[in-house]
Chains A and B, each alone.
Chain A
Amino acid sequence: MSRDEQGKGGGASRARTYVPAVDIYQTEEGRVLVADLPGVSREGLAVQVEPHLLVISGRVSVPEVEGEEHLSEFQPGDFYRVFTLSDEADLEGIVASISAGVLEVRVPRRRPAPGRRIEVKVE
């Protein structure tokens, strides 16, 4: 987990972990999760899926700040957030993509298995 890791060279002192802002909306196929992860590229992104959990973590490479800081409204830092997935989530079908610092995760809903006729064996 990014929180526990020691820094990346000299930038360690600036790295913090944030909870990213996320939008979630429903579509016919399931749910879509959109997260703002500024500064996170594909290499720094990890999306993990477990039976009922979706874990999003983004690593940000923090450039050393030279000189004097006048304004520092956002300390660059890593992102981490966990979501619970319902039983309806089709874990195999989860798709994630990131572009311009925005992550999109599509979680399709599991389709109900079609009814099957079960053969009854008679002893």
Chain B
Amino acid sequence: MALLPWRGRVPEERARGGLQEMQDRINRMFDDFFHGFSSLVPWADERLEWLPLVDLSETEDAVHVTVELPGVQAKEVDISLTEDLLTIRGEKKSEKEEKKRDYHRVERSYGLFTRTVRLPAVVDADKVEATFKDGVLTINMPKREEAKTRKVKVEVK
């Protein structure tokens, strides 16, 4: 069973002190383990090497998803949509496989990734727009007409 990797981001106010950092990492590991209601944790796929962070928000007309993918080429990202499940998968390659590098520090994540997110509403697959800027992927998904919340007056008899 693969442990979820540390996401590599530490809010600065907690970044002091080795012990505190270790405590934070352990807390985060437990958070990662128990979290994820709207996000399906892909336990099944052992090849996964890292999990990109995702934001999901919803307005009346659309569902927005942002994914942090620094260093990933747009062509390495595969986005697929099935019913109300959005899957983003791809590979973050390490840049230029030069001669064996002598690493002093490695904190960044590499390799295959997959995130599957359950969308809060049914969206119109034809109108989905995805843009990729500065390593952040933004997916805009307009809702299908019937999914938009409409106020319906209910008569009480």
Contacts and interface: CB of A to CB of B under 8 A. Distances in A.
Contact of A21 (B38, B109, B135): B109
Contact of B107 (A21, A71, A101, A102): A21
A59 to B, nearest CB: 11
Interface of B: 7-12, 15, 38-39, 53-60, 64, 68-73, 95, 101-109, 117, 120, 133-136
Contacts of B105: 22-24
Given A24-B104, A36-B8, A40-B135, 13 more contacts: A34-B108, A38-B69, A38-B70, A38-B136, A41-B134, A70-B38, A70-B56, A71-B54, A74-B9, A76-B55, A100-B72, A101-B71, A101-B135
A100 B108 contact: no
A26 B53 CA distance: 29
A41 to B, nearest CB: 5
Nearest to B59: A67
Nearest to A61: B134
B102 A25 contact: yes
A40 B70 CA distance: 10
A38 B53 CA distance: 11
Interface in A48-106: 65-74, 76, 80, 100-102
A76 B105 CA distance: 25
B135 A37 contact: yes
Contacts of B55: 65, 69, 71-74, 76
A39 B134 contact: yes
Contacts of B70: 36-38, 100-102
A8 interface: no
B60 A67 contact: yes
A36 B12 contact: no
